[in-house]
Amino acid sequence: MGSDRCCLFLEILISIILPPLGVFLRHGCCSMEFCICLLLTILGYIPGIVYAIYVIVAVDPERHRQDHYYEIVA
Domain boundaries, the chain: 2-68
Determine contact, residues 55/37, Cβ cutoff 8 Å. Answer: yes
Is the per-residue pLDDT at 68 higher than 70? no
pLDDT tens-digit series, residues 38-47: 999 999 999 9
pTM score, whole prediction = 0.76
When pLDDT is cut at 50, 70 and 90, the band that residue 66 belongs to is low
C-alpha distances (whole Å) from 30 to each of 2, 4, 20, 36, 37 are 29, 24, 12, 11, 12
Q: What is the largest CA-CA distance in the chain?
A: 48
